[in-house]
């Protein structure tokens, strides 16, 4: 998840927002699960995190077992 990635690497939301071309308030919503990024933004997040945060991380899909 994005919030875990940012914490792990001690990246501020405002700095990450600049990296992906978004506002800090929007990144905050992504981290809190209040908003799901558009596909083009998801791709930016995926690339900026080196693939550690994927589109699936934004959907609360549990195991189907």
Give the up-direction half-sphere exposure of residue 27: CA atoms within 13 A in the CB hemisphere. 21
* pTM metric for this prediction: 0.88
Q: Is the pLDDT of residue 61 over 80?
A: no
Q: Per-residue pLDDT tens for 14-34?
A: 999 999 999 999 999 999 999
Task: Convert 16-33 to b/e letters by CB count within 10 Å (16 or more is b).
Answer: bbeebebeeebbeebbee
C-beta atoms surrounding 45 within 10 Å: 23
CA 58/CA 31 separation, integer angstroms: 9
C-beta atoms surrounding 5 within 10 Å: 18
């Amino acid at each position: 998840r994005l919030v875990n990635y940012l914490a792990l690497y001690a990246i501020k939301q405002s700095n990450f927002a600049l990296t992906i071309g978004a506002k800090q308030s929007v990144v905050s919503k992504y981290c809190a699960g209040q908003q799901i990024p558009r596909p083009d933004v998801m791709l930016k997040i995926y690339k900026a995190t080196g693939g550690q945060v994927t589109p699936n991380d934004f959907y609360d899909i549990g195991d189907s077992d």
